[in-house]
Chains A and B, each alone.
Chain A
Amino acid sequence: MINYPEKKHKTHTKIILGLIIFGIFLITLFLLIYTSFSGSPLTGNIIKNDSSNNSIIISADLTIPVLTLNDEFETIIIKGDSDSFLYVGDKKFPLSDSKENSIILTDYIGEISFNEKTILKLEGKVGGVSINGIPMTSKSNKKMKIYFDSDFNYRILEIPENAFIKILNYETSGKIILNEKTTINLDNEILTIEKFYGSLKISDKHFKIKGHVKSLNIKGTQKISVSV
């Protein structure tokens, strides 16, 4: 026979369970709204602070990887030509009119992915944007939605500061300088960089980074592993 516990006890347990579920919901909702509207990623910030204090100084000139960055950037400079359109807020800018478009994004939050020749995706929110010298800011001081409608053929892509790469793993050639004294030359070797934080510039088929890394691994004719 089923023993039915006292009603009072049952109600008390139900209330506690309900409060726990509602509490978890409120915490999740708060974190979701806070990280999105403040623009500061919960995990990203912790990692960034850690990498600049306790890390290896790196300067590298390598071949261009296929990379996706999803973060907050103070400035992004893009130069190139394309038949695509750039959408900023409710405005649409044709980029086919000029052979050399210069786009400068400030206070950008969102995704940017690229390969050797093209920006495959740029989608996010921007505080201000300058298109071929014409500045544009939001009237309401709110960030504006920005995206390319198709691939953009870039010649220069630069993030002068605060570029964060969680992990970069690809076969590459070039030169790496660690802690401003050790030089490593790569020739089609597999490079793995973890938690890079610094500046990034892509121009003339060169991928140049300067900043700090948590660890670096090279596999190929030479085997090097450095970490802090």
Chain B
Amino acid sequence: MSRKGKEEEKIFMKVSNSRKLYIPIYFMILVLVGVIIFIKYNGLMLDNFILILVGLFILFSIKFTELHRFSNSYQINEHSFVHNKGIFSKKVRSMDFLAISSIEVEQTFWQRLLGYGDVSIRLYSGETDNLVKHINNPAKFARFLRERIYLKRKEKLN
């Protein structure tokens, strides 16, 4: 299939990194905002320079997390699994469903608790990578991918 044709393929599912990955950063922001509220509430002195510093920290943290989040996106379309990497410079890796041999879901204790994790995709060529990282509900993603692979194989056999 030509490149243009591939781009026009129907996208069934598109995911990117879960925001749960950035919980430690959100917690830091929350602590800083909490301390400011406490200072204001108790009538303590709030230095303008520090206030600007806190504002910049919050702004850059949110900007960084959002940029990092969108630097990786994963698509399941009609015939293949596609990994888009990068924001300014972009790299696209496409894997045909027929080339995929197995799919594994990996979750640590905390990831299970928070409901996100990784999906490993193994190819017949022996190549494997933790391709799909830090996504919400990895089991659902893996199940959907398996279904698409099964349908594609069935279609091929017919």
A43 / chain B contacts, CB cutoff of 8 Å = 47-49
Contact of B45 among A1, A4, A21, A35 (CB under 8 A): A35
A110 / chain B contacts, CB cutoff of 8 Å = 43, 45
CB under 8 Å from chain B, chain A span 1-49: 1-2, 4, 18, 21-22, 24-25, 28-29, 31-33, 35-37, 39, 41-44
Contact of B50 among A22, A31, A72, A125 (CB under 8 A): A31
Q: Which of B28, B44, B57 has the most CB of A within 10 A?
A: B44
A129 / chain B contacts, CB cutoff of 8 Å = none
User: Number of contacts between A and B (CB, 8 Å)?
Assistant: 75
Taking A29-B32, A29-B35 as contacts, is the C-beta distance between A2 and B83 under 8 angstroms?
A: yes
Determine if B45 and A28 form an interchain contact, defined as CB atoms under 8 angstroms apart. no
Dominant SS at the B interface? helix
Determine if B43 and A123 form an interchain contact, defined as CB atoms under 8 angstroms apart. yes
Determine if A25 and B32 form an interchain contact, defined as CB atoms under 8 angstroms apart. yes
Encode A128-154 as 1/0 by CB contact (under 8 A) with B: 000000000000000101110000000
Determine if B36 and A39 form an interchain contact, defined as CB atoms under 8 angstroms apart. no
Name the residue of chain B whose CB is nearest to the CB of A123. B43
A21 / chain B contacts, CB cutoff of 8 Å = 25, 28, 61, 64
CA distance A37 to B31 in the complex (A): 16
CB under 8 Å from chain A, chain B span 24-47: 24-25, 28, 31-32, 35-36, 39, 42-47
Tell me the minimal C-beta distance from A107 to chain B in angstroms: 12
Determine if B50 and A25 form an interchain contact, defined as CB atoms under 8 angstroms apart. no
Any A CB within 8 A of the CB of B85: yes
Name the residue of chain A whose CB is nearest to the CB of B27. A25
Determine if A145 and B42 form an interchain contact, defined as CB atoms under 8 angstroms apart. yes
Interface residues contributed by chain A, number (CB under 8 Å): 33
Taking A2-B83, A32-B35 as contacts, is the C-beta distance between A39 and B91 under 8 angstroms?
A: no
Tell me the minimal C-beta distance from B42 to chain A in angstroms: 7
Residues of A within 8 A of B (CB): 1-2, 4, 18, 21-22, 24-25, 28-29, 31-33, 35-37, 39, 41-44, 70-72, 109-110, 123-125, 143, 145-147
15 further A-B pairs in the complex, CB-CB below 8 A; given A25-B57, A36-B44, A147-B43 = A21-B28, A25-B28, A28-B32, A29-B31, A31-B47, A32-B50, A35-B47, A42-B50, A43-B49, A70-B45, A71-B45, A72-B45, A109-B45, A123-B43, A146-B43
